[in-house]
Structure 1
């Protein structure tokens, strides 16, 4: 059976979350055979992981009220926070300083 190969390079950036370094995930290292490179960020460096900035903003700006009375209320509050975050990300930036 021929091995499929990517025509363009692909790099997947991972932090050191337990799922990313688990024994079950290590079997996926064969992705290099098809042109997918796994790049691990250094431990304890959330500033290098862009999604951490998004989660921080969602957590502290879009979901500031943490006391909810039911699981449905929690789900609705999280959905609203993530919708605000999505809308913010989709807004076009007028310059690179704003985008960063």
Structure 2
């Protein structure tokens, strides 16, 4: 090394290269993590969608079995069920009105 100025130049250059490499590694890591996160979220959404569709299909199958049972002569049971549901709705409306009047809504 002939002078401190030349030495400082090479130190600065080495520092700049090291910082550039570190920044490049950090950027690569961030992009990689973002990609992993995106893939995980897509997979979770796909699994959630499949779960919901499976449940909907099961419930639809159960409902269709219930309809076939009602069509086989359980009309009286169906009417009783409808009457019970109407009574529950009326009771819930009454409770809702009481709640609203107490809450001032």
Q: Judging by fraction of residues, say which structure has more strand.
A: 1
TM-score, scaled relative to structure 2: 0.24
RCO comparison, higher one (Cα < 8 Å, 6+): 1
TM-score, scaled relative to structure 1: 0.26
Flag the structure with larger Rg.
Answer: 2
